[in-house]
Structure 1
Amino acid sequence: MSRRLPLVYAAFVVAPVAVALYLAWPAGTATLTSRPPAAATPAALPADQVFYRLLLAALVVVAVAHAAGAFLRRLGQPPVVGEIAAGFLLGPSVLGLLAPGVEAALFPAGILPFLDVLAQLGLILFMFVVGRDLPLAELRGSGGTAIVVGHATIATPFLVGVLVARILPEGYRPPGVPALVFALFCGVALSVTAFPVLARILTDRGLADTPVGALGMATAGVGDVTAWCVLALVVTVVRGGSPVTVLRTVALTIAFGALMWWVVRPLLARYATSRVALLFVVLLSALATDRIGVHAIFGAFLAGVVMPRGSAVVAGFAQRVEGLTVWLMLPLFFATVGLRLHLEELGGQGWLVLLFVLAAAVGGKVVGTLAPARAAGLDLRTSVGLATMMNCRGLTEIVVLNVGLSLGVISPRLFAVLVAMALVTTAMTGPLLSRLPRSPATRPELVGTAP
């Protein structure tokens, strides 16, 4: 199998990426000529009302999110689908339409900046958990097959996303956003796989310890790291401006990543005895990448990656952070996303665009996983299982889309389309996996020569 892997890598990773860049590059320069309009200054609330209104909003958001998550779990869906949907139910698309007075009272403009700060802090903590949960030992031992297929599950959908960006009707790319930047971001948006959500789905369905589940986790882990690196590069291009500034940001990001891996990681392995120190590392790393010019979430992700896996102190710290994040902070993040989502953007032509994007997203992941997996020598059942798993986008996709909307790279109309696509593809994963036959006792071959 190892002899064919370089050819598979060239055909299903190098070639799609080269074609995608060829299609995207002539489309325009990489410098934004306009920025998203600044939000209007919210009407100030009396000082004695801000805190209790914020607590009231948080109480309602958490209650609705977890109730929706519990309901969806009963239907065989991961709770995160219900929690994401709850954010939209509380926003202008549902509550604002059915009871605008209630929505205005629950989310007055004066608390929105505070709610957004809490949501962004929750996002940073979530990305730390994602980085810490990456199975580094499995990734090191997964060999060439997982690396080739993991990169292919990013490359082919990336090409499809670039093609989608060129085909989308006028109005889905914001004015002033270069076609190159828009195409690159659409490529990233369609190539994402939600590693944390997939891990939960596999565990809930008893597939995590099966051969196909183990291979799926390794493949998704490779793809997850790759997708975040590509997104960091796209954000750098968007924020950078001149080529010199972009190169400087890329160089600083690589240098910081090397510092975290080669210096901070060994220090943590030896001296990680204080949870306060661990929190300091997470926040300082997030601050560093934000100042470098990418995004704070990448620093938090790196901090999670370099945490020692065998430390009881780190495990206890991560467990507490995850509890706070899952129970409180992420529902607040979903609420802020829901407040930005206007489903009326899907009206008329939008539904056709949604069907087109959904077909492209599913098709890109299925072809981009099934074909290289078969070419690498995996059997059909395992290849179909991998394709089904890689189609799960979940919370990771919402995070990516939120970054794009905040940077002004995608319009609210496309944001609504892509969020709906993320929900549908995530909801598809569990039921489709349940229909797959259980894997045989033989473990798929993971060992190979990395290209």
Structure 2
Amino acid sequence: MRRFLSVYLLTVAVPAGLAIFAVAMLANGSSSGGAENTSGQGGSQLVYRLLIATAIVVALAAAAGALARKLRQPPVIGEMAAGLVLGPSVLGWIAPDEQRWLFPQFIMPHLNTFAQFGVVFFMFLVGAELAPRTLMASGAKAVVIGHASIALPLLAGVGVGWWLYTVFPPATDPGLLPFVLFIGVAFAITAFPVLARILTDLKLLRTPVGTTGIAAAGIGDVTAWCLLAAVVAIVRGTSMISAVIAVLLVLVFGAVMFFAVRPALTWVLHRAETRATPRFPIFAGLITLVLAAALATEQIGVHPILGAFAAGVVMPRGSRLVTELTNKIEGITIWFMLPIFFVVVGLNTKLASLSGGLQWLACGLITAVAIATKFLGTGIAARATGSPLRDSVALGVMMNCRGLTELVVLTVGLQLGVLSPALFAMFVIMALLTTAMTGPLLRSTMPTAPVQSDRKASQHDPALL
């Protein structure tokens, strides 16, 4: 059956899709109004163009993710690269008219909406993946390593951010303080879901070094998200007092979620499972909670992703209903909404803006400092807390994995006007390189770890993220 499906896809689906795309291009070229004049047409034209764009995006992202897996990379590498290929840096350079036709301006707000919902549900899944028992499995050692993995990058980010602020000032000036803090947070992020997938593929997740690494990554990421909430509050605040109020409101929100919502969820879900309550009202209520939490943090003055992340963290572990819901949300988020997010990132990434030697020098500096500070901060703390040298090196490699989580942070910075298009492109390159190097370096550092087969690794792949 699998062979027939593969043959069908290659001999029928792919040619048919290309034929539809070619006919659409010819029909568009023969029309008198041109592509850009379609913005004034009705909703049917909008849906038609959205269907074409999203179908191509999803198909290319799936193909790129499969290719990345064949190359022993996490699929997110291929999907991130696919977003860049469809943007102005590749397709826009090779075939600018076709790129503008595929992504006309009048569909961009709708693609952005899909992308933002994808990010919200992605952050919910990230929060749901953070098991408190796992985070504390290594005790104080994981706390020390996790905080060390963000402290030195944060410090270096403040220093590099001060230089970047003078050389590449953002178009919408947020002020020096929020700018350097944001750069520090961007350096400090580790992609917890992608790292979990890599460790699973290498069969390291249940080893002592893997347990310590995933716990340290989770602790570090929770801390980094709290810092990001403070930075966003400072950027959006009209004064330092309003920013402090926003941070205090976030703390109140977190306390309500942990000490009121979480026990209530545990009670409701336990009763629903023991009494065989229909799933639809339970799932609808949980999704409403995610959206309400995202709305709450947006209204506070930070970002909706923080609320969605908190909603994921407070979900009861071990609940069959929560597991079923996350599995269902994971599919539509990974296969549909996140590929659109990658394309939106790709459309905002203009490598042509790095036209001079100074820009590429800054890009190299950002990447080198991001790698070195993560590696040194993590490795020194691991060695000082008793880890062998090889494990310390491996932990330094793990914490350098940034993946999609970094792109989420960078997109927030671009939306807030903290990052200019040139800086955004530099940090996207850094995110790609640091994610791509994690798997190969871990294989060379931990050579005894066998790799799972592609078939087994692809059965449940939460870190397509």
TM-score by length of 2: 0.84
Question: C-alpha root-mean-square deviation of aligned residues, in Å?
Answer: 1.6
Confirm whether residue 323 of structure 1 aligns to residue 331 of structure 2.
yes
Displacement of 1:142: 2.8
For residue 293 of structure 1, the aligned residue among 269, 289, 301 is 301
Confirm whether residue 389 of structure 1 aligns to residue 398 of structure 2.
yes
Q: What is the aligned partner in structure 2 of residue 95 from structure 1?
A: 91
For residue 78 of structure 2, the aligned residue among 79, 82, 105 is 82
Q: Report if the CA contact (8 A) 1:131-1:301 is conserved.
A: yes
Displacement of 1:372: 1.3
The amino acid that maps onto 1:285 is: A
Q: Report if the CA contact (8 A) 1:172-1:410 is conserved.
A: no
TM-score by length of 1: 0.86
Confirm whether residue 238 of structure 1 aligns to residue 235 of structure 2.
yes
Q: Secondary structure at the match of 1:168?
A: helix
Note closer, same or farther for the CA distance 1:134–1:262 as it changes in structure 2 (3 Å cut). Answer: same
For residues 174-222 of structure 1, give each alpha carbon's deviation from its aligned partner in whole angstroms, at most 9, with x where no partner exists. Answer: 1423111111111001111000110111111211112111110011010
> 2:267, 2:210 → 1: CA distance?
33
Q: Report if the CA contact (8 A) 1:287-1:299 is conserved.
A: yes
> 2:136, 2:334 → 1: CA distance?
28
For residue 164 of structure 1, the aligned residue among 134, 156, 160 is 160
- Relative contact order, higher structure (CA 8 A, sep 6+): 1
Q: What is the aligned partner in structure 1 of residue 369 from structure 2?
A: 360
Displacement of 1:347: 2.0
Q: Report if the CA contact (8 A) 1:131-1:303 is conserved.
A: yes
For residues 273-302 of structure 1, give each alpha carbon's deviation from its aligned partner in whole angstroms, at most 9, with x where no partner exists. Answer: 411111111111111111111110000000
Q: Which runs of 5+ in 2 are unaligned?
A: 1-37, 273-281, 450-465
> 1:166, 1:106 → 2: CA distance?
39
The amino acid that maps onto 2:233 is: T
Q: Report if the CA contact (8 A) 1:210-1:439 is conserved.
A: no
> 2:165, 2:324 → 1: CA distance?
50
Note closer, same or farther for the CA distance 1:169–1:277 as it changes in structure 2 (3 Å cut). Answer: closer
> 2:176, 2:245 → 1: CA distance?
23
Displacement of 1:166: 2.0
Q: What is the aligned partner in structure 2 of residue 8 from structure 1?
A: none
Displacement of 1:169: 7.2
- Bigger mean CA deviation after superposition, 98-107 or 385-394: 98-107
Q: What is the aligned partner in structure 2 of residue 402 from structure 1?
A: 411
Structure with bigger gyration radius? 2
> 1:351, 1:205 → 2: CA distance?
34
Q: Secondary structure at the match of 2:170?
A: coil
> 2:88, 2:41 → 1: CA distance?
21
Displacement of 1:437: 3.0
Confirm whether residue 415 of structure 1 aligns to residue 412 of structure 2.
no
For residues 318-353 of structure 1, give each alpha carbon's deviation from its aligned partner in whole angstroms, at most 9, with x where no partner exists. Answer: 110111111101001011111111011222222211
Q: What is the aligned partner in structure 1 of residue 264 from structure 2?
A: 267
Displacement of 1:436: 1.6
The amino acid that maps onto 2:134 is: E
For residues 390-419 of structure 1, give each alpha carbon's deviation from its aligned partner in whole angstroms, at most 9, with x where no partner exists. Answer: 011111100000000000001110000000
Task: Name the count of aligned residue pairs.
Answer: 400
* Percent of aligned pairs with the same amino acid: 53
The amino acid that maps onto 2:122 is: F
Q: Which runs of 5+ in 1 are unaligned?
A: 1-41, 441-451
The amino acid that maps onto 1:88 is: L
Confirm whether residue 149 of structure 1 aligns to residue 145 of structure 2.
yes
For residue 188 of structure 2, the aligned residue among 176, 186, 191 is 191
1:208-227 alignment to 2 at 5 Å? 208-227=205-224
> 2:169, 2:193 → 1: CA distance?
30
